Structure 1
């Protein structure tokens, strides 16, 4: 009987974690923090962070920033918005933090990405470009070689 209740608890917890992940996916541009996400599913912030990382390989904050950077990449490829406008459109409050995290995940600053994406994406179907241009998860982008 204990293994069944343990399994049921694990499945309930996974459902809560999926709810948190879905909320991040939906509301990435809103001001979200781990405490608010945890409150929504009646867990402590520390417990949510530990369990989310165990389930998805990264913390809720890291997952949120990855979502924001993915969306920022799409907006920058569109070319209509400035880097600053994109930063605020995806829910970041600091241009410096946005640029730093973007560079860590993508391997280049957002301004360079915007310049290169505008020139290099012509003729590539959007569905292919989205897959190829996805930011690196759970590790930083390899540093560019400087000679």
Structure 2
């Protein structure tokens, strides 16, 4: 069985616990122009999406996609993936950081499957209006009616 190369970037804008597996690459998205309290370039200790060929300056409009663009242009791997810093792939039905997908768990599927996506989930809990009402200012939405 061939050893396929896999890099899953973890898009983040802040320090956070990261998987230890080498297939994961924490990536500071929207790094362009971000400064620390001393007005120096903000350094989270992760690779930044404003290096190499990048669109980091467009992060306010494209969010995590600036990271995916960076990966597409700057990573040489058989598989490139994107995860959010608080959302990870897992083959287990249990939540928890210790259940994050590892390369050894993924390896049997490599070369057989071209694209990996999460399972479909049904989230219908409330209407868009009630969701906005509970998470934002209801008056703003009412004004648009």
TM-score by length of structure 1 reads 0.25
Structure number with the higher strand fraction is 2
Bigger relative contact order (CA 8 A; separation at least 6): 2
Indicate the structure with greater helix content: 1
When normalised by structure 2's length, the TM-score is 0.25
